[in-house]
Chain A
Amino acid sequence: MPGSFTFSSLPKQPVPLVVVSPRRILADLLSKGWVENAIPFIAFVLVAGGIMLTTRDYFGATNLLNLAQYATDGGLLVLALLIVVAVGGIDLSVGSNFAMSAFVALYCFHILGLPTPVILAASLAAGGLTGAVNGVLAGLIGCGALLATLGTMITVRGLYTLASQARLVEISTSARVDDLWDWIGFERWLGLPVGFWALLIVAACVFVMFRQSRFGWHILAVGGNRKAARHGGIQVKLTIFLAYLLGGLVVGLAGFLYAARQNSVGSDTGVGMEFFALTALVVGLGGFVPGRGAVLSVLVGFATVYLFNNAMINAGYRGDFVQLSMGAILIVILAADVKFRKNRHRLLASTYLDPVRVDIDGVKGMDGLMPHEIRPKLREAEILAPGKLDGPEDVILDADGNLYCGNRDGRLLRLRPPDYSRVEVVAKIGGRPLGLAFDPEGRIVTCVAGMGLLRVTMDGAVELLTDQTGRSLLSVQDDTTIRMADDLDIAPDGTIYFTDATKRYDIENWGLDLLEGRPNGRLLSYDPRTRKTRTVCDNLVFPNGVCVTHDGKFLLVASTWSCSILIFDLANAAAGPRVFLSGLPGYPDNINRASDGGYWVALAGMRNPIIDQSMKYPALRRRMTRRVPPTNWLFGNLNIGGVLKLDGDGRIADALWDAPGGPLYMITSMREHEGSLFMGGVTNNKIGRLRLENADNGWTGPKSYWGEG
């Protein structure tokens, strides 16, 4: 009885182009890694916007150049602090060290009269020395970083005050002028102050260091988890020492640039710089976070604090008010950061599930076939290999009657006729093998949840065909990767059609997809000749079983949660699906061909009026998942299942029900082979075989697809 339906007369199944939901967007944003970096950027935009509204010409070229000229030392200090904080320490001595380096530069320039490059080296050496002392104390010896650097801060400040008081008159009366020195201090190169170039170059170097260099990665590893870093073979103490040393060198450079620009130092040079740098760092990192080398974020944080400071002073606020505001901002950011970090995963967990109202057609076309009306035919099913399998979601038989099925442990198994009692391993795939199909060359193509589409040859070689498709438009979550490849079938031209049942849940959480009820799945195709993966139709409701019709022109796709079977015209798949059959009494899983031109449909579970009703109340389901333990959720009945027999036109011809007490429970797949029906279940530990009456005893699946060859 070949199919005689006309495709164009079937009702169209509407498929949304995009799924937009505020809660889902929030959840997807929360699961992004960069969401923590949003704080400095938002703060920067707020500050810059506020300044633009209140101050005229603030962002004019003259003022910007002026700002850039004076931003250098602060910016370098923040970078130095970033390096130290990234390794898990803190450096309070940056301000004192900065003043000392500036003094050393001025001393070398005015009193010793050294050439400028030598002065630079001396400044770097001075900065590096303090950094090294910090590094020895906090890194090599392992003292508390806060106290150690507090000690060096006071000591260096004392030494600086002593030295500068002794030499300040001499320095300020010196008349030495040097072209290179003045060029560094005052001139511009390519339109920007020389000092600012130095800041940019150092920032770029630190960026590359954290991104690309082994040392930078070691710093981040040590800051992230000292124990793990040590177990990973990193020399933790040496890395900490070097980080402090490097921070000290950067501070030394800042001191040198400051000296060249100001040509003098005062008793308050660098006082409070450590707190300024710390504030900028906390704003930039959105908290005090070791193990992160976010140079860009930190520079944005620095720009925010610097502009805020500058604009407030310009607007006539006194330093004390600025200090007050900075303290308040610091507290607010720290508090927000702590609370956000602590509660982010909870917020994510409570927003991720986003149910929607679903109306499912009532049960149709089952007159006289419901379980209470006929006897459970599967009670007579013969049980194969009981206890030797774990979750054969799909079963398939080759022309010789060998049975293949996937296993929960990621292996592909073979059972040999006639008794199918011995289990052999064909291949170790990994993942969770689900749907199976034979290609024309007799290889098995399989959908593996968590991996994608794979091909297995009979000698056990596994080849990944595809695990990615194009990203869907307007999706916040990156849905390129195929998350839960479920079932497949192969068209006569060799194109593999397969389903990604849900883009939002992994296989162990597929139940949540029912409670959500959204069209989260998609139908994909893979062309073995071009090796291209294409999304045929996005936004389907849990597309599950796939079957190419007997004539090879259409594709049946089971839509599990909507209890219907969709049909695609393979000649024009872009036109979208139509409804082949709706109002099934249970949740359809795999679909396979029958010998008489009809189709077998596995019912993984049965609908019940309560869950059907609750599908109309998304708020109810949301509350249920938040308030009630999962074991008590309303759900479809998965303890009983069956197999439906369709004729070629999509009418239900027969129903093979499992008995209430088993033996097969949740049936997810069935294959007809030489007059028998073989049934697998994703939670079963066995395979069922039922002798069929009135079936073609010579019919096999491979023959039906690829002919006698």
Chain B
Amino acid sequence: MAEVVARAGVPGPRGRLLEMIVVGAAAALIIIFSVAVDGFATAGNLGVMLSNSASLVILSCGMAVVIISRGLDLSLIAAMIAGATTFSTLIAAGVPAPVALLVTIAVMIAIGLANAWLIAYVEIPALLATLASAMFITGLFRFAILRGEYLLLLPKSNPAVVFLSGELMPGVPTPVVLMLVTVAASWILMRYSTAGRTIQAMGDNFQAARLTGLPVRTTTIVVYVFAALTALLAGLVMSAASGTVDFRTVTNGTLLFDVILVVVLGGIPLRGGHGGIRNIVIGIALIAVLRNGMTLMNVTTQMQDVIKGLVLLTAIVADKYFNPRDAETDTIGDL
């Protein structure tokens, strides 16, 4: 029995193959960029790469947990922006940072609960529920807080912003620490908690999990609240680094796309059930190297999008091959 439980998250040999290919591709890219691009293989660039990837990693942890549970959270970026907006509005209004943080956490839990309620209790397919809630959240925050604007500027001198964008210890940037904390938390959640085991069981076979009496509804709440909290952390990191909260991040869809790209490239099948934090590390390695290298090579954002789009298309074709699925038993949510 113990052996069965221990094997639950391990994909078959073919799933491993995709991971190896991605690791190989990342390694090859690192070698190519190191040779071809000046300033790629430096310690400073490594630090930049880590800092720049922090928010993406944090979001990917949230998305990975959702996808492993056979869900999908398209409202992740909207939640991220909502969290950042709430926090920055509060600190700009002079509320002490800890209080502001507590209020924001409450808001994010509410968002996570709302998503989970729509999915687990109202039983709307996750894809559609989060699509609609993304529209609702973005509209609500732009309407109620931003009064129609796209951008919210952060008070640069506020100690909270300085703390979030600065270094915790010399040489250790706060975003990187937050990233590591999130990764550790996700790892503990998936590896050692009861909820993590239930999440994998739900992803593997939802009906079986439900019929064996696992608390699938409450676990869905855990999943989406966790995702919303990662979105909060990512939002804080990202807005502190850039000094703005930009609602166009939601509308242009690039960040959401990057997050899904990381998860899929890391080898977590979209049907859920398999995967862990290792997969995120693998996925992020490739994407971070690719982004960083392309930026150093002065590739435009649009061209980067095109290249990432092609990488995603390749990845999902590979995913189809390595994690074959039976489209005939699909339900509406399994698009």
* Interface of A toward B, CB cutoff 8 Å: 88-90, 137, 141-148, 150-159, 161-162, 165, 226-227, 230, 271-272, 275, 278-279, 282, 288-290, 318-328, 330-331, 334-335, 338-339, 342
**CA distance in complex: A141, B319 (Å):** 11
**CA distance in complex: A322, B72 (Å):** 25
Q: Is the CB of B135 within 8 A of A326?
A: yes
User: Once A and B bind, how many residue pairs between them come within 8 Å at the CB atom?
Assistant: 153
Q: Is the CB of A158 within 8 A of B306?
A: yes
Given known A150-B260, A226-B328, A323-B138, contact A141–B317 (CB-CB < 8 A)? yes
Q: Give B114-152 as 1s and 0s: 1 = Cβ < 8 Å from A's Cβ atoms.
A: 000010001111011101111111111011001010000
Nearest neighbor of B327 in chain A, beta-carbon distance: A142
Given known A318-B148, A319-B148, A322-B139, contact A147–B133 (CB-CB < 8 A)? no
Given known A147-B260, A147-B316, contact A282–B128 (CB-CB < 8 A)? yes
Q: Give B240-274 as 1s and 0s: 1 = Cβ < 8 Å from A's Cβ atoms.
A: 00000000000111100100100010000010000
Q: Count contacts on B: residues with CB < 8 A to the other chain.
A: 54
On chain A, the residues within 8 Å of B143 by CB distance are 318, 320-321, 324
Given known A154-B253, A162-B300, A318-B148, contact A89–B118 (CB-CB < 8 A)? no
On chain B, the residues within 8 Å of A330 by CB distance are 128, 131-132, 135-136
Q: Is the CB of A334 within 8 A of B128?
A: yes
Q: Is the CB of A151 within 8 A of B135?
A: no
On chain B, the residues within 8 Å of A153 by CB distance are 253
Min C-beta distance of A587 to chain B, whole Å: 45
On chain B, the residues within 8 Å of A159 by CB distance are 302, 306
On chain A, the residues within 8 Å of B253 by CB distance are 150, 153-154
Q: Is the CB of A271 within 8 A of B251?
A: yes
Min C-beta distance of B252 to chain A, whole Å: 7
Taking a contact as CB atoms closer than 8 A, the residue among B118, B122, B270, B308 that contacts A144 in the complex is B270
Query: Could you show 25 A-B contacts with beta carbons less than 8 Å apart?
Result: A90-B335, A141-B317, A141-B320, A144-B316, A147-B270, A151-B310, A151-B316, A152-B309, A155-B305, A161-B305, A162-B303, A226-B330, A227-B328, A227-B329, A288-B332, A289-B332, A324-B135, A324-B140, A327-B140, A330-B132, A331-B136, A334-B118, A335-B124, A338-B123, A339-B123
**CA distance in complex: A617, B308 (Å):** 71
On chain A, the residues within 8 Å of B313 by CB distance are 137, 148, 151-152, 155
Q: Is the CB of A89 within 8 A of B335?
A: yes
**B137, B251, B302 — which one has the most chain A CB atoms within 10 A of its CB?**
B302
Q: Is the CB of B127 within 8 A of A146?
A: yes
On chain B, the residues within 8 Å of A288 by CB distance are 125, 128, 332
Q: Is the CB of B139 within 8 A of A326?
A: yes
| Interface membership of B38, Cβ < 8 A | no
On chain B, the residues within 8 Å of A154 by CB distance are 253-254, 257, 305-306, 308-309, 312
On chain A, the residues within 8 Å of B260 by CB distance are 147, 150
| Interface membership of B334, Cβ < 8 A | yes
Q: Is the CB of B139 within 8 A of A275?
A: no
Given known A154-B305, A162-B302, A227-B328, contact A143–B124 (CB-CB < 8 A)? no
Q: Is the CB of A339 within 8 A of B122?
A: yes
* Interface of B toward A, CB cutoff 8 Å: 72, 118, 122-125, 127-129, 131-140, 142-143, 146, 148, 251-254, 257, 260, 264, 270, 300, 302-306, 308-310, 312-313, 316-317, 319-320, 325, 327-330, 332, 334-335
Taking a contact as CB atoms closer than 8 A, the residue among B133, B135, B252 that contacts A323 in the complex is B135
Given known A147-B264, A161-B302, A318-B143, contact A327–B257 (CB-CB < 8 A)? no
Q: Is the CB of B148 within 8 A of A335?
A: no
Q: Is the CB of A144 within 8 A of B139?
A: no
Min C-beta distance of B83 to chain A, whole Å: 18
Nearest neighbor of B333 in chain A, beta-carbon distance: A288
Q: Is the CB of A323 within 8 A of B142?
A: yes
Q: Is the CB of B317 within 8 A of A137?
A: yes
Q: Is the CB of B309 within 8 A of A143?
A: no
Taking a contact as CB atoms closer than 8 A, the residue among B124, B131, B148, B316 that contacts A275 in the complex is B131
**A144, A156, A328 — which one has the most chain B CB atoms within 10 A of its CB?**
A144
Q: Is the CB of A327 within 8 A of B317?
A: no
Q: Is the CB of B302 within 8 A of A331?
A: no
Nearest neighbor of A157 in chain B, beta-carbon distance: B305
On chain B, the residues within 8 Å of A327 by CB distance are 132-140
Given known A147-B264, A155-B305, A162-B306, contact A275–B135 (CB-CB < 8 A)? yes
Nearest 4 interchain pairs by C-beta: A324-B139, A155-B309, A327-B136, A327-B135
Min C-beta distance of B42 to chain A, whole Å: 29
Min C-beta distance of B283 to chain A, whole Å: 14
Given known A151-B309, A339-B122, contact A324–B136 (CB-CB < 8 A)? yes
Taking a contact as CB atoms closer than 8 A, the residue among B122, B146, B312 that contacts A150 in the complex is B312
Q: Is the CB of A226 within 8 A of B327?
A: yes
Q: Is the CB of B123 within 8 A of A148?
A: no
On chain A, the residues within 8 Å of B304 by CB distance are 158
On chain A, the residues within 8 Å of B118 by CB distance are 331, 334-335
Min C-beta distance of A281 to chain B, whole Å: 11
Min C-beta distance of A563 to chain B, whole Å: 49
Q: Is the CB of B264 within 8 A of A143?
A: no
**CA distance in complex: A503, B26 (Å):** 72
**CA distance in complex: A18, B300 (Å):** 75
On chain B, the residues within 8 Å of A90 by CB distance are 335
Min C-beta distance of B138 to chain A, whole Å: 6
Given contacts A142-B320, A275-B131, A334-B129, 16 further A-B contacts (CB under 8 A): A142-B327, A144-B334, A146-B335, A153-B253, A154-B253, A165-B302, A278-B131, A279-B135, A288-B125, A320-B142, A323-B135, A327-B135, A330-B131, A330-B135, A334-B124, A342-B123
